[in-house]
Amino acid sequence: MLKANDGFRGRVEAIVAQIPRGRVMTYGQLAALCGNARAARIVGGIAHFGDESLPWQRVVNKQGGLASGYPGGRDCHRQVLEAEGVPTIDGRVDVGSLLWWPQDQETS
């Protein structure tokens, strides 16, 4: 469970650590869950400069687009996702069917 004093970055990283293989979250979704729905770009910065041991490959933009800033670019992002069982079509994942919500934050 997240604590209020974990800070925005800590909350983002804690949620990213929970994203299961085969599922994705969006930068905006992470930002909203961490208390600032308008901070999707900040989440992107955290992903770019954050803890490399976290599954950042499971974070995509709101249209399911892959990150050009991912190490190795969009092609490597695609390869890593596909190796985890996440299909891509034209550089995108199907956010509608693959979007993951933390269990205690699920919405319908």
pLDDT in tens, the chain (108 residues): 444 457 999 999 999 999 999 999 999 999 999 999 999 999 999 999 989 999 999 999 999 999 999 999 999 999 999 999 999 999 999 999 999 999 855 544
Tell me which fold the domain 4-97 belongs to: Arc Repressor Mutant, subunit A (1.10.10)
Coil, helix or strand at residue 37: coil
Phi (first) and psi of residue 25, to 5 degrees: -130, 165
Tell me if 5 sits within 8 A of 40, measured CB to CB: no
Tokens representing 25? 């979250």
| pTM, full prediction | 0.89
The pLDDT score that the predictor gives to residue 4 is 46
CA distance 23 to 39: 21
